[in-house]
Amino acid sequence: MPYVFSHDEIARVLYESRNYQPKQKYTGTPNMLSCMSCIFTLLYCTGMRISEVTGLKVEEVDLKQRIIHINRAKNDNLRIVTISDSLFEACSKYLEQSKTRKGVGRYFFDSGSPHNNGQVSSQRAYIYFRRFLNMAGIEHKGKGFGPRMHDIRVTFAVHSLQKLSRMPGDINVHLMSLSTFMGHQSIYCTQEYLWLTNDLFQDTLEKMEKYTSFVSSIFDEKVGEFNE
């Protein structure tokens, strides 16, 4: 069962990622904390997969144009995502902090260690994710029950749908844009997030039902799966 963070919960997680202080200094990976703060901001601001984030090369993050080129994506679904003001500030701060620490210079998120060309692993990011959850007062219910780190991507989709529903025009046009932005193979993959909004964002669903009939069928299908 995917976990959708509330706006308050995701704000607390990001706060902890920015303010986390370890008990001892990481001499082997001196840039790791700076990486983590920016990584989790990027995950929520773009809905990227953690593998896409940690795999970003230096030249693929263009702060001048405020775009990110994702050239190693699931199903080879290459795409471009935009950089918001808050993400721009986080990336700029990260780069400023990184200037004083030597890195390989291959990956955008460089741990400061020559190991694996400085690339931060998804496993290492998950370790920090669990720490930030605990500090934010969000219970982790065990392996297989989450919240998972991938749920930040799910949360991005749900929060985006909520925001898009308040914009004028056909909500399905906005849904298509979101599907492309997230790199889904088809719009149906994005539609599956709709059932997650049932309790949290009822107003979003009501507006979407005015434009389309697939919403009810998706809910019925998902409810049937969990009942089984």
Strand partners, 79: 70
DSSP state of 107: B
Question: Which DSSP string corresponds to 134-192?
Answer: HHTT-----TTTS--TTHHHHHHHHHHHHHHTTSSS-HHHHHHHHHHHHT-SSHHHHHG
Containing structural domain, residue 215? 165-227
- 3-state secondary structure at position 98: helix
Per-residue model confidence (pLDDT) at position 117: 93
The answer to whether residues 125 and 185 belong to one domain is: no
**DSSP 8-class letter at 77:** -
DSSP alpha helix (H) spans, the chain: 7-19, 32-46, 50-54, 85-98, 122-135, 151-164, 171-182, 187-191, 202-209, 214-227
pTM score of the predicted model: 0.81
What three-state secondary structure class fits 70? strand
Backbone φ and ψ for 111, nearest 5 degrees, come out as: -70, -15
| 44/107 same-domain check | yes
Q: Do residues 129 and 176 share a domain?
A: no
pLDDT by residue (tens digit) across 87-111? 999 999 999 998 887 788 899 999 9
**Any domain includes 14:** yes
**Are 177 and 127 found together in one domain?**
no
Task: Say if 150 falls within a structural domain.
Answer: no
Angle, vertex CA 196, rays to CA 211 and CA 74, nearest 5: 95
Higher pLDDT, 203 or 1: 1
Whether 221 shows a pLDDT value over 60: the answer reads no
Q: Structurally, how many domains does the chain consist of?
A: 2
Task: Dump pLDDT digits (tens) for 25-71.
Answer: 767 788 999 999 999 999 999 999 999 999 999 999 999 999 999 98
| Res. 226: pLDDT tops 50 | no
